[in-house]
Copies of this chain bind each other. A is one copy, B any other.
Amino acid sequence: MWMPSQLPQLAKELQAAGFKGDPADLANLTRHPMSAVVSLGGCTASFVSPQGLVVTNHHCALGAIQLNSTAERNLIQDGFIAATMADEPSAGPAARIWVTVGFDQVTDRILADAKGKTGRAYFDAVESAQKAAVAACEQDAGHRCSVASMYYGREYYLIKQLELKDIRLAYAPPRAIGNYGDDIDNFMWPRHTGDFTFYRAYVGKDGKPAAYSKDNVPYAPPAHLTVSTAPVKAGDFAMVAGYPGTTFRHRAASEFANQIEWLLPTRVDIVGGMIETIEAATAGDKAKQVLYASTLAGQKNTLKRAQGELDGLRRSDAVRVRAADEAAMLAWLAKQPNASALQADIRAMQAQLDAGQATRDRDFLLPLLRPGLLGSAVTLRRLAMERGKPDAQRESGFQLRDEVLIEGGMKQLQRRYDPEVEKATLRYALKRYYALPAAQRIAEFDAAFGASEAIASSSLDAIYHATKLGVEADRLALMKAAPDAVLASSDPLMKLAAALQPALLRLEEEGKRRSGELMRLRPAYMQALIGYRNSQGRAVYPDANSTLRVSYGKVSPLSPRDGMDYRPLTTVAGIVEKNTGIEPFDAPKPLLDAIAKGDFGSTVDPTLKTQTVDFMTNLDTTGGNSGSPVLDAEGKLIGLNFDSNWEAVSASWMFDPRYKRAIHVDMRYLRWLLAKVYPAPHLLKEMNLPAE
């Protein structure tokens, strides 16, 4: 996950891997291909025509497709083809496309005022410098700016993005193509999903970003990607560009050990118990089951992910491997001149990490100790505290612009709350809390909930019986009521929140102090790591942080287990094999008919003699890379990234080349669908592609 600016220094490796272009071009964000790679916020997309046509994943555009669906015209189910540009509906007022136009090192500027400070003061100085840099940058209308911390505070980059606000829907396949296999196939290979959708970006007649207007015109991007018409096969060079979310690969060995030996097993244990608790509390009661269906699905997904990540990290022997790597780094460092300052900072960093782990059991339980309704009481009090301040001074998350989100949460709770179930989950969390050693207990919590688990458990009935917070209107009223009145509320749940709040504020403050210290100290660790890697002739990318990154590799099979191989390409035969007629394996009849007909035209694979669907590479990706363009050796678009394999769930911590694969829609499948199945000849023509 290289920063584009790092690629020129990797020229040799890129060329050895098969890249045919000039690596220096990849560092230039204003030129092809990087200027064609855009962010949707959480997803990636790319321009594929001079008229602002954008391709991304179906799952990234699902909200826009849903928004344009009606009872009569279900675009999710049936798909959508805009016959002309005039037929392209808005993707909604919140839809955005961000085009990165600036990516500049501003480390000195951000750290100027932080130098010499520690803890909370360091944190505040950095935050304040970031806010100033962003504000100055955003003077350029039509742009959004942000400061990204690279290598955990070692470097800071000011990122400037053109913000396109009029996004429209041009083409979407039916759900049973775009999301064929859904949750069952999620993370799975072999895969047969046509996970793509086309948007188009529009701007004002002056060419500047503008909100939706009928008078707007298609945006002419500075560059767009060319869709390849060549076949794809195992071993081919591949490259992905996009906005990957978060990775933890450069975390300290102790953090790896904590993740694998404590956090993930604890999550499996406690979330597993929580699932049992909710299932028992809703057993035999359909209404309660409906209220908690979404919560339960989320918990089960969390549990599955945690187990998958744990299995993967154990399979990669990650604790031992990372510990040995760190030990080698420290041994190398010890031999360097003037190592002592770095060593001291690394020791101090380790002390902060150790201190954090000392209360890890309690910290894990804290969110569970303020579920649903009790959580809303805590939020209402905090909002009341912040509402008294000027907006700019309010705590992040409690500013004016956040109130819509908070109100949404207060409303949504009504569809996800039952007092008996909430008490059951709270009792489950309290049972765990009261089993903690004294050093991890919190005086205010003990006082508020009660001296023992039994007392706490029994007091809940009275509190939940008497509270009026369960009434949506009463909760919403407290969002608008005079802050003093909110803080003085005699509602028993508000009083419980009041009793907990001093501790929560103290822990929040302590968290910021520790964050500040880690921001100050981690750069020493990263400097040692970079130096050590460089001494081995290797470069280091910063952990992913939703900024533009590039990874290169090749189309790759996978041996997930002894005796088993996954081929790197799937074909339409697999769609038929999986088809049951029942969602999510309910391939549409036109697709099944077209497969049976076997007329694959120019998109047929010359070796397999059939139509490919998806392919797999060893590219380095993570959440946020959804929709990312996959390019061939000549920089042409061969695929859209949309998933990883199950064996790679652990890759956010450790990239294990034996198991990490990325899953892409083959652009030939997309072309075939547009040519023969759900035809959009005008889009093929716009992309300069064969009509069949």
Q: Which residues of A contact B (CB under 8 A)?
A: 189-192, 315, 561-567, 569-571, 573-574, 577
Contacts and interface: CB of A to CB of B under 8 A. Distances in A.
Contact of A190 (B315, B561, B567, B574): B561
A575 to B, nearest CB: 8
Contacts of A562: 190, 192, 570-571, 573-574, 577
Nearest to A189: B563
| Most chain B beta carbons < 10 A, residue from A190, A564, A573 | A564
A641 to B, nearest CB: 17
Given A189-B563, A562-B573, 20 more contacts: A190-B563, A190-B564, A191-B563, A192-B562, A315-B577, A561-B574, A561-B577, A562-B570, A562-B571, A562-B577, A563-B566, A563-B567, A563-B569, A563-B571, A564-B564, A564-B565, A564-B566, A564-B567, A565-B565, A565-B567
A401 B571 CA distance: 60
Nearest to A574: B562
A564 B559 CA distance: 10
Contacts of A192: 562
Nearest to A575: B562
A256 B191 CA distance: 33
Contacts of A573: 562
A565 to B, nearest CB: 4
Contacts of A566: 563-565
A315 B190 CA distance: 18
| Most chain B beta carbons < 10 A, residue from A189, A563, A577 | A563
Contacts of A189: 563
A232 to B, nearest CB: 14
A259 B191 CA distance: 32
A189 B315 CA distance: 20
Contacts of A570: 562-563
A577 B564 CA distance: 12
Contacts of A577: 315, 561-562
A626 to B, nearest CB: 21
Contacts of A565: 564-567
A577 B659 CA distance: 13
A569 B564 CA distance: 10
Contacts of A571: 562-563
Contact of A563 (B315, B561, B574): B574
A257 to B, nearest CB: 21
A692 B189 CA distance: 41
7 smallest A-B Cβ distances: which pairs? A190-B563, A562-B574, A563-B570, A565-B565, A562-B573, A563-B567, A562-B570
A661 to B, nearest CB: 12
A679 to B, nearest CB: 25
Nearest to A615: B563
A574 B561 CA distance: 7
A190 B564 CA distance: 7
| Most chain B beta carbons < 10 A, residue from A189, A191, A192, A561 | A561
A585 to B, nearest CB: 13
Contacts of A567: 563-565
Contacts of A563: 189-191, 566-567, 569-571, 574
A566 B574 CA distance: 16
A561 B585 CA distance: 15
Contacts of A190: 561-564
A599 to B, nearest CB: 19
A562 B571 CA distance: 7
A280 to B, nearest CB: 14
A493 to B, nearest CB: 36
A565 B645 CA distance: 16
Nearest to A616: B563
A42 to B, nearest CB: 28
A569 B563 CA distance: 6
A205 B564 CA distance: 52
Nearest to A572: B562
A49 B580 CA distance: 52
A410 to B, nearest CB: 40
A399 to B, nearest CB: 49
19 contacts: A189-B563, A190-B561, A190-B562, A190-B564, A191-B563, A561-B574, A562-B573, A562-B574, A562-B577, A563-B567, A563-B569, A563-B571, A563-B574, A564-B564, A564-B565, A564-B566, A564-B567, A565-B565, A565-B567
A541 B189 CA distance: 40
A570 B562 CA distance: 6
A564 B565 CA distance: 6
A315 B573 CA distance: 12
A190 B559 CA distance: 12
A191 B561 CA distance: 11
Contacts of A561: 190, 574, 577
Nearest to A559: B567
Nearest to A557: B565
Nearest to A576: B562
A315 B566 CA distance: 21
A499 B315 CA distance: 65
A216 B588 CA distance: 71
Contacts of A315: 577
A577 B560 CA distance: 10
A565 B557 CA distance: 10
Nearest to A571: B562
A577 to B, nearest CB: 6
A577 B559 CA distance: 12
A405 B569 CA distance: 57
Contacts of A191: 563
A411 B567 CA distance: 55
A183 to B, nearest CB: 19
A170 B192 CA distance: 52
Nearest to A573: B562
A561 B192 CA distance: 12
Contacts of A574: 561-563
A466 B577 CA distance: 55
Nearest to A190: B563
